[in-house]
Each structure stands twice: as C-alpha cells, then as structure tokens.
Amino acid sequence: MCKEGKQQSPVNFDSSLDTVHGCPGAGSSDWRVNVSMPAMNAVNVSNLGHTVRWTPADGVRRGMVVNGIEYSLIQFHIHTPSEHHVDNMPFDAEWHFYHTSASGHTAVLTYLIEASDTNHTEFQVLFDEVPIHEGESEAHKDKFTATHVLLELLARGGFYSYNGSLTSPNCDENVRWIVAAAPLQLGRLQIRRLARTVGFSARPPQENQDLLGHRRPNATSGKHFNSCQSMTSGTSATASLAPTVIMSGAAAAAVWLLASWI
C-alpha cells in the first residue's frame, strides 16, 4: 500500500489554496469536528525508538466527532520534524493524536509544532519522564492539564482536513486527517530533547492527486497564512487535479522505511 496507494499521507498544504475549516463564522456546510479532551490524570509514556508515545491511563473517555462519526483517542505520539508541510516547509515537530471508531476507522488529530525561545511550562510534564532508552515505559505521576491549549488552538485557528493514510507501514488508507492550521508553540529545548530521543521520524509529503479537492487554479500565491484570520482573502473554489508537491530526498525516505510505528 505504501508504494501503490493513491491517498497517501502526509501531504503539503498550500496556505493560499487549501481551505481552512472550522473557523468562526464559517458556513453551515463546513466540516463539523467536535473534540473532547479532558485533562489527563494519568499518562503512560513509552520510548519506542522511532517515536515517543503517550497513552492516557485514567479511564476517562476522550475523542472527537467528525461529521457525525465518533472516534476515541487511543494514544498520541511525536514526529520530528513534521510530516505535513505548509507551503513546502516542514515544522519542527508534529503531534499525532491517534483515534479509532467503533467500526475500526482511523482519524488523526494533528498539531504542527513550532519552536519558540521559551519552554511551554504547561507541557513540560509530558517531557520530564520520557525514558532515555528504547523499549522503556514510565507511568506519569503528574497530571497533564494543558489539553485546553490544544482545543483552543483548534477553535481559534481552524483545521485542514482530508482523507489520507497512515504514515508508516502498511500505510492503510481511508484515514481521516484533521490538522490544526495554527501551529502549537513549544520551547526549542523541549523539541530538541524529543528530537534527540526519536531521531528523524518523518515520512515526507507524498505525491497524490489533489486529496483536498478544493484547490483553486491560478490563485495568487505568496501570502503565507495558516489560521482563520487570513481566510478573508479567499475567492471562488474550483477543483483542480494538480498533484501535491513532493518533498525531500531518498535519504529521508530510507530512514522512514526503517520505522515501524503507527
């Protein structure tokens, strides 16, 4: 599936062409996504070598409803650098909140992470107990209460959405991606520490037909935006079959092939 698939993730978003859904005041036909992510009273964290994975362990249900389909949060994990790009540029990291539905479908709520000069203290608890050695797990003793930051970011900045695939073998398709358009800012040192732990762990954007299905031909480009505030410049939407841009080289692909996380 990874080579032959037609709806492969990740993709590059073009901020001058691709629709940002979920913005305040958007029309009634807009995508409906409701995310419920209460603070976490207990989280297990595992060093899987190619990623760090956090698993809520307090028995509280977290999930999201996407256009009427209910998904439950199973775990979240990190990629460094980001897998999705915006305007052909990667971010410093990307967080995948992996959800499944009762019927076995997958949806991934995604946050692109941008390095800032100051650590985000509300998130530090997630990084303090990351095991140094591959294969080790730890049970968090502290609560992670900053889930509200993630929800606010989604509500304020909107999201890209498309139907793609898992980004690691076997690259199963029919995965619903909800990618927060506004990046999450974490401290440079916080990201560096994770990057040292997991190494290069990103599949590059894939070449597909237009998975977002609402690209405008001949649109003016060059205006970088990725949040709701910038949507006022949008004009009519006409589908185009232009392929998404493929990035990165053979070295990156080779590293990715060694990975075996979800």
Q: Note the residues at the interface with Zn ion (CB under 5 A).
A: 96
- The DSSP H or E segment spanning 56 is strand 52-56
Residue nearest to Zn ion (CB): 96
DSSP codes of every residue in 235-258? -------PPPPP---HHHHHHHHH
In the bound state with Zn ion, the residue whose beta carbon lies nearer, of 96 and 216, is: 96
How many residues does the structure list for the chain? 262
For the CB of residue 51, give the shortest distance to Zn ion in the complex, in Å: 7
For the CB of residue 221, give the shortest distance to Zn ion in the complex, in Å: 29
In the bound state with Zn ion, the residue whose beta carbon lies nearer, of 95 and 144, is: 95
Strand partners, 111: 95
For the CB of residue 102, give the shortest distance to Zn ion in the complex, in Å: 22
In the bound state with Zn ion, the residue whose beta carbon lies nearer, of 96 and 140, is: 96
For the CB of residue 159, give the shortest distance to Zn ion in the complex, in Å: 17
In the bound state with Zn ion, the residue whose beta carbon lies nearer, of 85 and 96, is: 96
Whole-angstrom distance, CA of residue 56 vs CA of residue 76: 9
Is residue 121 within 8 A of residue 144, CB to CB? The reply is no
For the CB of residue 96, give the shortest distance to Zn ion in the complex, in Å: 4
Whole-angstrom distance, CA of residue 46 vs CA of residue 218: 46
How many Cβ atoms sit within 10 Å of the Cβ of residue 218? 7
In the bound state with Zn ion, the residue whose beta carbon lies nearer, of 62 and 96, is: 96
- 196: which residues sit within 8 A by CB, 6+ positions away? none
